[in-house]
Amino acid sequence: MKNALITVATINELRQKVSSARARKESIGLVPTMGALHEGHASLIRQAAEECRFVVVSIFVNPMQFRPGEDFERYPRMLEQDCELAARNGAALIFAPNVAEMYPAINPSLSPPTLTLPHQGGGKESAPVTTYVEVPGLSDSFEGKARPGHFRGVATVVLKLFNQAQPDRAYFGQKDAQQLAVVRKMVRDLNVPVEVVACPTVREADGLAMSSRNIYLSPEQRQHANALYRALMQAKERVQAGERDAVLLRATMAEILDETPGCQREYAELVNPSTFAVVERIEGEALAVVAARFGSTRLIDNTMLTSETSIV
Ligand code: PAF
């Protein structure tokens, strides 16, 4: 029988609990999250609990991956509800640090709380410089281009969480495919001793990928938001019917997004799933990636296309 959920807010307490679990010879799983947990997170926690004896869920809205003007302030925070969902799905411990615990060098009076980076200069009033992790190349296209600095924030906080919790395995959703590629590359390049496990995207009944940001959608936007899924499925169908030309597949996806009311397409592309380099033809595997705005809400989604692809 599993023990009651433990909740800690400091790195020291986390380390103590993890080393006790290790002393009991338990394997450690980590599910990094920003909270506002939904069925997508629940599936990550369940998979972690199936494969690891002691599952840590981190809940931290990481200011370093938000830019000024993004939704750092209004990002939903619901710790009590999150703890219940995590416990129900097999978590042993919630790690919910505050910003000062994670980034002692941060300036909390700025929004989002900001760390000065060396190439940004920084006057007297700026926050002190901190060490950070950059995964060049992969971090500069698509999501990285739309949100400069985003993947630096993600890679930095994920490496910190890996060092803090020292998990055997860490679980990430396939929905954030570029984030997953960035984390995998960082782990490989820096020889981090953790196995990165990718878990399938969980969808609403109409195909919309679950996301904590879906709650920002108005009822009308919500009604049309599955356009991303429809675009991906249309590309998949065309590949299944024999189409291999990325230009045509891209146009098919773009058309669906463009004809959807309230949908502003940002990109619809076919890329190599590891490097995110754009591909010209489907040979073997390619990842179809889409991003669109509905009002101020930005949604992303993706699906794998293979020369032998089938509809799921
Ligand atoms: O995917 C997320 O929720 C975040 O980017 C992560 C991985 C928890 C890092 O803050």
Q: How far is the CA of 197 from the centre of ligand 1 (A)?
A: 14
62 lines ligand 1 (CB under 6 A): yes
Q: Give, in order, the Cα–Cα distances in Å from 277 to each of 163, 211, 243.
A: 30, 25, 20
pLDDT tens digits, 232-288: 999 999 999 999 999 999 999 999 999 999 999 999 999 999 999 999 999 999 999
Strands 263-271 and 195-199: unpaired
* Residues assigned a catalytic role: 41
* pLDDT of the residue at 204: 98
Residue 118 has pLDDT above 70, yes or no: no
Tokens of 101: 């615990």
Q: Whose alpha carbon is nearest atom 3 of ligand 1?
A: 33
Q: Do 228 and 211 contact (CB within 8 A), yes or no?
A: no
* pLDDT of the residue at 26: 98
303 lines ligand 1 (CB under 6 A): no
Q: How far is the CA of 62 from the centre of ligand 1 (A)?
A: 8
Q: The tokens 């809940």 sit on which residue?
A: 59
| Structure confidence at residue 117 as a pLDDT band (50, 70, 90) | low
Choose the weakest-confidence range: 108-112, 182-186, 197-201, 258-262. 108-112
214 lines ligand 1 (CB under 6 A): no
Residue 123 has pLDDT above 50, yes or no: no
* pLDDT of the residue at 3: 67
This prediction's pTM? 0.93
Q: How far is the CA of 65 from the centre of ligand 1 (A)?
A: 9
Q: Do 263 and 274 contact (CB within 8 A), yes or no?
A: no
